[in-house]
Structure 1
Amino acid sequence: MDIIAFSIDVVKYVLAGCMVVGLANWMFWKKYNGYTFRLKMLEQKHAAKKDILPLRLQAYERLILFAERINPVNLLVRLHQQGTDAEEFEQRLINEIRAEYEHNITQQLYVSDVAWSVTRQLKDNTVALIRNAGKGLQANASAKELSTVLLNHIAALDGNPYEIAVRTIKNELMG
């Protein structure tokens, strides 16, 4: 009879334990599921950020490359052709800057507003610089004369705007 009483006690304790576990599960089910749901959402968000990081780095790299490519020092060397007049050369320079800008326009999705604003302003200022240099020349001026005026103007500036723009873009990436 002791074995039967022992078995009944074991069954009572097991049932009581199951009831306690069931009641605790019922009470905390909503909270537990909400926690795991939020945890999964955070994991997905983190994974998405990890996937975007290479794109962001590439976008900042493209902006720095853009700043270097539209720098008149580099642009003049790359596009200069012997025998070209200033007006034709001016148009070629502006078209090249616009093409570079349009090629990189989607990079604004991955960079800060400040970095993109600096890039856009650098493009606009470079186009204005080229147009102003062209206005100051005679009608039959050569591309070499336009190049000389542009380089003299950049040399006269207190700070190189292209170096400042690159520094600003780098600071935006690191900051």
Structure 2
Amino acid sequence: MSLTYFIALTAAITLSGTLIFILAYAFLKKDIQAWLRLKSHEDHQLERTHLLPLRLQAHERLIVFVERLNPTQLFVRLYQPGISAGVLQSLILNEIRSEYQHNVTQQLYLSSTNWNVVRKLKDDTIAMINNAVAGMREEASGVELSKKVLEHLSALEENPYDLTLELIKKDIHQLF
């Protein structure tokens, strides 16, 4: 077998194989695209049926977390008659950290922006409580701490807890 015959035979086989592949693709192109669209639609449906309830539950849990994080709610839940500001501070900080740890996995189902806002709200709440206690006398009561924090909140132009709730609600509405 000569080299030219071998090269010609290889070129003919390669050319015919390429031509067959191109023709097969041309005939099957619409079927392949339809299958890919169907597969994409099935994946989207699977996401909606399995992931949507989890995302909604995560948003619900974070709404509860933000409500429970609100100092007005914290004081109502944790205040005890005669409690000192330091003890109330400790109870509040433990409650916030516990609630946060309970909800930390919900970040999987939220946008990173929303999660960062919730995390910052938690950090700001802790800082607000700590700053209020730092400016008080050592024997201050829990009532004094409550008044100081609530006065600070009322002096704010917009309530950060309400703003965070609105942001979470907007994110929920984007799911539909």
TM range (shorter): 0.7 to 0.9
Alignment of 1:1-175 (within 5 A): 27=24, 30-31=28-29, 34-35=32-33, 37-50=35-48, 51-175=50-174
Regions of 4+ moved over 4 Å: none
RMSD value over aligned CA atoms? 1.9
Deviations 1:30-74 (A, max 9, x none): 536634642452143123211111111111111111111110001
Gaps of 5+ in 1: 1-22
Number of aligned residues = 151
Rg larger in structure: 1
TM-score by length of 2: 0.78
Give the aligned partner of residue 5 of structure 2. none
TM-score for the superposition, normalised by structure 1: 0.78
1:86-107 deviation per Cα after TM superposition (whole angstroms, max 9, x unaligned): 1111011011011111111111
Question: What is the letter of the counterpart of residue 148 of structure 1?
Answer: K
The corresponding residue for 2:16 is none
Q: Distance in 2 between matches of 1:32 and 1:158?
A: 59
Residue identity matched to 1:42: S
Contact 1:114-1:172 within 8 A present in 2 as well? no
Superposed displacement of residue 123, structure 1: 0.2
